[in-house]
Amino acid sequence: MARQSPQRPDADEPELELDDTTASAADDEVEVDRPAPDRTLWDELRIDPVEIDLPAGTGYTLRAYRPARELTPTDVAERDQDDPFLARRQVVDTEDEEEVVILDEEYAALTAEDEDEEAEERPAGRRRGKSAATDAEADADEDVDAKTDEDADAAAEEDEDEAAEADEDEADDTGDEEVPAFLTHRGKLLLFKSPESLVSFIRSGAPNDLSQLDSWNELSERVEPADITPLDEDTYELDLVVENLRGGHDAWDPTLLIEAGEIARDLAYALRLPAVLDMLSAGSSLDDLDEALRASVNGGIGGFLGRRRLKKIGAQTASLGWRTIVGKISAVVDWRD
Picking from 151, 336, 319, the residue whose alpha carbon sits closest to that of residue 244 is: 319
Q: Tell whether the model's pLDDT for residue 11 goes beyond 60.
A: no
Largest CA distance in the chain: 163
pLDDT value, residue 298? 85
Tell me which of 10 and 289 has the higher pLDDT: 289
Q: Tell whether the model's pLDDT for residue 110 goes beyond 50.
A: no
Q: What percent of the chain has pLDDT over 70?
A: 62
List, in order, residues 6 or more apart from 226 with CB less than 8 Å away.
195
3-state class (DSSP) for residue 120: helix
Would you say 335 and 60 are in contact if contact means Cβ atoms under 8 Å apart? no
pLDDT value, residue 38? 83
Assign 302 a pLDDT band (cuts: 50, 70, 90).
Answer: confident
Tell me which of 94 and 53 has the higher pLDDT: 53
Q: Tell whether the model's pLDDT for residue 104 goes beyond 50.
A: no
* Triad 141, 144, 147: Cα angle to 5°: 150
Amino acid, single-letter form, for residue 77: A
pLDDT value, residue 105? 46
User: How far apart (Å, rounded) are the C-alpha atoms in residues 23 and 69?
Assistant: 55
CA torsion sign, 246 to 236 to 232 to 263?
Answer: negative
Query: 253-293: per-residue pLDDT in tens?
Result: 999 999 999 999 999 999 999 999 999 999 999 999 999 99
Query: 157-201: per-residue pLDDT in tens?
Result: 676 666 666 555 555 556 689 999 999 999 999 999 999 999 999
List, in order, residues 6 or more apart from 68 with CB less than 8 Å away.
174, 175, 176, 177, 178, 179
Q: Please compute the mean of the pLDDT values over residues 232-251 and round it to a whole number.
A: 96
pLDDT value, residue 304? 87
pLDDT value, residue 300? 85
Q: Tell whether the model's pLDDT for residue 311 goes beyond 70.
A: yes
Q: Please compute the mean of the pLDDT values over residues 234-262 and round it to a whole number.
A: 96
Most confident of 17-21, 29-33, 150-154, 207-211: 207-211
